[in-house]
Amino acid sequence: MRLFSLVCAALSLAATAAPVDLPSLFDKRALVKPITEIEGILSDGSKATVYKIVVRSLPHDHAMGPWAPATLQDKGGYWEDTVDKKFYRVDADYLKILNQRGWNMFDADGTVHRTKDRTEFDKVARQELAGWTYEQAAKDGVTNSVIELQPIEQIVTIFLPKNPKASEAVTPLRQAKFSPRSGLGISTNGVRFFPPEPVHRITAFKNIAPLDPKGGHTGFGHEYHYHRAPSVMDNDKSGKVVGFALDGFPVRGPTEADGSAPQKLDSISGHDHDGLGYHYHVSHEWPYIVGGFKGPLGTAVLGDADICDATKTGGNGGKGDKGGKGGAKGGKGTPKGGK
Ligand SMILES: [Zn+2]
Ligand SMILES: [Zn+2]
């Protein structure tokens, strides 16, 4: 009798458990210190045990860049065109397409127009965030340029629920209260996931801000972040966990473990099958990483801190991404940039 109940307990555990051991999955080189557990407050006001993950914000498992080609002979990063929606390598062919539309992306000698230093990069932030017109930016800003900057390393602490729980309804990105610091979550290499790139806001100034071959670039806070997961850019078919959303649920690669396409994804790119527990899948289509959240959120702060209160970090002081909150405003299939 006793044996029987033990077997039953074991069986029910196997049916419900989501066997993802978060601390073991992180790149140790990204961690400033071992991952610990503390008590925190999630975005819905509930108390919960959270993982405290202190990371160096630059990847240790791949190189960054290129973003802008220096000349027409070079190849830059990748950019989703706002007119035909194709994902282009930024090279001579693509820059010529832009020039055919009346842009001015390179000189007669083949030198490509790009942000040359931090001052110019910060001008882009100012003109985009302050809602300048193209005419204003053409006079005192940066237009007709490929936007790029080498990112700086930042120490960031991200708090994720240890036992993610589903809310009554999913929260779409445009309603979610995540901060520019936290982004949507974090890759296991310590780099944060950001909302879809606000491509329309960038092209309003005849600029483009390409992603590198791993899906990342530098944001207005000078941090490196992903708009597409490296596993998508690499066409990885292992289906392994590549990171965690801010609600603590795992984010998997673009396929299932057998290489097949994920089936019956919900409106935020997640589902639950085969005893894996709820998880998201990244892809080349909107929302690229996650389209919202299944459960209440953790948060992130700059530096190494012990206070996890996700109800108080909505603004969090960051200049944020070129996307910021606005990047989350795209509807399904239309990654529009907002303000
Ligand atoms: Zn960005
Ligand atoms: Zn799946």
In terms of C-beta density within 10 A (0-12 exposed, 13-18 middle, 19 or more buried), how is residue 10 classed?
exposed
- Would you state the pLDDT for residue 179? 85
Q: What is the pLDDT of residue 69?
A: 98
Ligand nearest to the CA of 258: 2
Q: What is the pTM of this model?
A: 0.88
Alpha helices in 190-333 (DSSP H): 199-203, 230-233
- CB within 5 A of ion ligand 2: which residues? 262
Backbone phi and psi for residue 71, each to the nearest 5 degrees, phi listed first = -135, 175
Ligand 2 center to residue 247 CA distance, Å? 17
Give the SS3 label for residue 313: coil
3-state secondary structure of 52: strand
Between the CA of 147 and the centroid of ligand 1 the distance, in Å, is 11
Nearest bound ligand to CA 184? 1
Predicted confidence at residue 336, as pLDDT, reads 33
Q: How far apart (Å, rounded) are the C-alpha atoms in residues 15 and 302?
A: 38
Q: Quick one: which ligand is closest to 191's CA?
A: 1
Q: How far is the CA of 89 from the centre of ligand 2 (A)?
A: 29
Give the pLDDT score at 313. 64
Ligand 1: distance of its center to the CA of 194 in Å? 7
Q: Which burial class, exposed, middle or buried, applies to 19 when counting CB atoms under 10 A from its CB (0-12, 13-18, 19+)? A: exposed
Alpha helices in 90-244 (DSSP H): 92-100, 118-129, 134-140, 199-203, 230-233
The pair phi, psi for residue 10, each rounded to 5°, is: -65, -40
At 181 the pLDDT is 84
Rounded distance, CA 67 to CA 149, Å?
9
Phi/psi of residue 193, each to 5°?
-90, 135
Q: What is the pLDDT of residue 19?
A: 67
Residues of the chain with confidence (pLDDT) below 50:
1-17, 315-339
For every residue of 189-202, DSSP letters joined together read TSPEE-PPP-HHHH
Q: What is the pLDDT of residue 330?
A: 32
